[in-house]
Structure formats: C-alpha cells, structure tokens
Amino acid sequence: MIGRSHQELDLLDPVKTKQFVASEKPDTIIIAAALVGGIHANNTYRSEFIYKNLEIQNNLIWAAHELGVDNLIFLGSSCIYPRGARQPMDESCLLTGPLEYTNRPYAIAKIAGLELVNCIRQQYGRNYFSAMPTNLYGPGDNFHPENSHVMPALMRRFVEAKAQNAQEVVIWGSGTPLREFLHVDDCADAIIHLMETVKKGTLETLPPAKDGFYHVNVGSGSEISIGDLAHTIANAVKFKGKLVFDRTKPDGTPRKLMDISVLKNLGWSPKIPLNDGVKSTVAWYIDSLKKHDPSLRG
C-alpha cells in the first residue's frame, strides 16, 4: 500500500502528481483525497470546495490514465444525489433533481469526477469505477471546531463540555434531519471488496446503470436523527448536561439514506454497529487529546 500525506505530495500540482504516479507505478489507485467539511465549511468556502476538488481528482485520474494504470476507484459522496431524492437513494437517483444548496459546489465536483471516470472506462476500456460513500467517521477524523463533519464536531463539543463541566451543549439545527453513518474501517473493507470485483470485470453486469453511469453506493443502510446521534455521543462521553438545538442554523438535506442493495448483492455488508463505533471513536479521540495535553492525563 502506497500513500502520501498532503505535506508530502500536493495533489493540486499536476506535474508533481504525475511524477509521483510515474515513479511508483501502481497497479491500482484508490482516490480518497479531497477537500471535505461539514455544512459550515461547504457553505462558507464554496469556491475552494469546487476548484480544489476538481483539481485533485482531475490530476490523479488523468495521470493514472496517461501512465497506463488500469485499475482505479474514485470515491465520491452521497451528496451527489438530489436534495429531494426518493429514500433510500439508489444509484439511479443521480441527476434526477436539484442538489442541496449548502454543499452543491462539492457535489458538482464529485459528479464531474464520476463522469470523467465513466468516460475513460467507456472510451479506453480501463477498469475505472466510482464508489459513493455515505457519511464516514472513526479514528483519525478531522475534529476541527468549524470545518469538521457533524460526527467529529459533536464529539469535540461534548468532550470539551464535559472537561469544562458545562451545563449544556448547543447543536446546530433542529436535530430532526436523518443521516446515515459508516465506520471508516467498514468503508475501507467495502472499497477493497469493490476493487476485487472490478478486477474480475463483473460490476457492469449489475443494475442499475443510468446513461452509462456505473457507480456503487457504500453505506450502512440505516439512519439516525441528528438529535439521537447527539444523545448517543453524549452517553459515550458521559456528559450529563442539557442538549440545546439552535434552530437558527441550517439543517441541510432533511434525509439522506443510501440504498446499498447493489453492494449487498456483491457479497458485502457492514460489520460495525453505530453505538460500538461511536464509543470506540470517542475513546480514541480522548486518548489522542491526552497524548498532546499532559494535564488531561490522570
């Protein structure tokens, strides 16, 4: 397995990206690199989210093609589907309605990557394919106070509130939107399973396919409200205070559940229950804080 951090390789640089692929000569490339964030980051840095994600994915996908890498999986996002898509969303929901405004730039970038992958596969016969993961969480996540996704953002708030003996934690929105979450270890397992299937050349025999688009949803197939998620995290942290929902902040898409029937038909199912995953991730996060701040040990 070959990987590079952002500090080691700037994927916004097409020359350096191509030089890296040429020097390593990989048999397979899995593109998980992206500029990501929660509602605040997506809606605040709209220009950066479309520009940088287009650059990252274009540089990697085209370098792979030009250098003869035959196997590639591009990771998109469940936000490629319309805000009002039928639930649960299967792969054929793509391009059937308007996107959620708050993350539209990011979604459009991911749709463009999906199309580029499809075109290269159709035109040049390479085993290039796209997978659409749902909301991921787990050790190593981004816990930034402003730019993180909902799961790590809530974990940080509750951990800090408990440490400060706060009486309440404020949560953006009404708490009613429904979201699906998948542990990062389950996602990695699913991607490996998909790549093995791609190499066998059996993916395109499976429905659904829409206008030449072939991609597979990767999710848990279950959902939870943001309010219930907040209570789950509060319990994992052992926070006993009050939960306050700030309805002046945006909720985003009301519901976003993936139909993972295609992936299940390929022989894969998630293994890590949400409660277990939340507890282990909270424990990892607290442990990582203690390593950087000796005053928290004890």
What's at 255, amino acid-wise?
Answer: R
Q: For tokens 């890296």, name the residue.
A: 20
What's at 159, amino acid-wise?
Answer: V
From the candidates 45, 51, 81, 106, which is the catalytic residue? 106
d(CA 156, CA 281): 11
Pairing of strands 224-225, 178-179: antiparallel
d(CA 202, CA 217): 16
| Residues 6+ away with beta carbon under 8 Å from 149 | 36, 37, 38, 135, 137, 141, 142
**From edge to edge, which strands make up the β-sheet containing 224-225?**
224-225, 178-179, 255-256
d(CA 244, CA 173): 10
Is residue 285 annotated as a catalytic residue, yes or no?
A: no
Whole-number CA gyration radius for the chain = 20
Q: Are 148 and 36 in contact (CB under 8 A)?
A: no
| Residues 6+ away with beta carbon under 8 Å from 6 | none
Q: For tokens 């951990």, name the residue.
A: 159
Of 288, 258, 212, the residue nearest 76 (C-alpha): 258
Catalytic residues: 106
